[in-house]
Amino acid sequence: MFIKKIIEKIGPAFYYNKINGYCSICEEATSFVSIHNYLRDNLTCSKCKSLPRERAIMQVINEYIPNWKSLKIHESSPIDRGISPKIKKQATAYSSSQYYPNEPSGEVINGFRNENLEELTFNDNSFDLIITQDVFEHLYNPEKAFNEISRVLKKGGFHIFTLPLINHFNKTQKNAVVNANGEVEFLIKEEYHGNPVDKKGSAVTYHWGSDIIDIIRNSTNGDETTIRVIEDMGKGISGELIEVFVTRKE
């Protein structure tokens, strides 16, 4: 309340929202606070600091795979808040990887296995669940990555992931390529997002659109994808671009 009064006194250009509710990651009562109206990256849990899309993916995992703690799980590009530390701690068979392009694939670098999603070194049928959070907008060949993930999933296994679906009513657009000189060349606009293992960040290579389900189906052996849209302010799940994608291996 004290913070809210200060912000209201400063002026109308400032935003403040606080909601009491239940966090699917903390698994307890908490409050969700944002001082920006773009909730996707700002509505944080006051206890675990998770964001709406992270709480949404946790809820979806609990719904689709309630026994996830006993399954074999791999997460690509985990972060140090939200579901990554939770699943690492609670799952009996969890592994994770980052991508270091100049290092050997499959080797452990800085505590993480080095894996390129487009050329995974895992055996076929290795995992029950693969998790990626906001990764596929940074890949140069996402079709190959979808195929590789399907390959290393067990039959009936899941790839549960988030990405910003910014072209809701239009097809996917390629935003960046690597040119003949090995440099990133932007086709629409120069755009980078944060990268936990690279201070330069990661180039945004794709603006994903309404055809994503067809792209995944055509990139795999017909794997089907469900898009979950959750709006539940009581659980701190609200805002733009917080869809959760659930692909099941056929």
pLDDT (tens digit per residue) in 122-170? 999 999 999 999 999 999 999 999 999 999 999 999 999 999 999 989 9
Q: Which domain holds residue 237?
A: 50-248
Mean pLDDT, to the nearest integer, of 80-95?
Answer: 96
Q: Would you place residue 12 in the very low, low, confident or very high pLDDT band (cuts 50, 70, 90)?
A: very low
DSSP-based three-state secondary structure for 167: strand
Residue 71 lies in a domain: yes
Residue 2 covered by a domain: no
* Any domain includes 10: no
Which pLDDT belongs to residue 164? Answer: 96
Q: Report residue 11's pLDDT band, with 50, 70 and 90 as the boundaries.
A: very low
Residue 193 confidence (pLDDT)? 85
**What's residue 62's pLDDT?**
97
Work out the angle at residue 65's Cα, subtended by the Cα atoms of residues 64 and 67, and round it to the nearest 5 degrees.
Answer: 150
**What's the CATH code of the domain at 56?**
3.40.50.150
How many structural domains comprise the chain? Answer: 1
Query: What number is the average pLDDT over the span 196-215?
Result: 89
Share of the chain above pLDDT 70, in %: 94
Q: Is residue 5 part of a domain?
A: no
Helices (H), the chain: 2-10, 52-64, 83-90, 142-152, 212-219
Is a pLDDT exceeding 90 seen at residue 10?
A: no
What is residue 14's predicted lDDT score, i.e. its pLDDT?
64
Residue 39 included in any domain: no
Domain assignment of residue 151, yes or no: yes
Lowest-confidence pick of 9-13, 17-21, 88-92: 9-13
In a domain, 85, yes or no: yes
- Identify the burial level of 217 via C-beta atoms within 10 angstroms of its C-beta, where 0-12 means exposed, 13-18 middle and 19 or more buried: middle
Q: Would the pLDDT of 194 be above 90?
A: no
Tell me what the mean pLDDT of segment 4-23 comes to: 68
Query: Is residue 34 within 8 Å of 15, Cβ to Cβ?
Result: yes
Q: Which residues contact 132 (CB under 8 A, 6 or more apart)?
A: 75, 76, 77, 117, 159, 161, 162
3-state secondary structure (DSSP) of residue 232 = strand
In a domain, 149, yes or no: yes
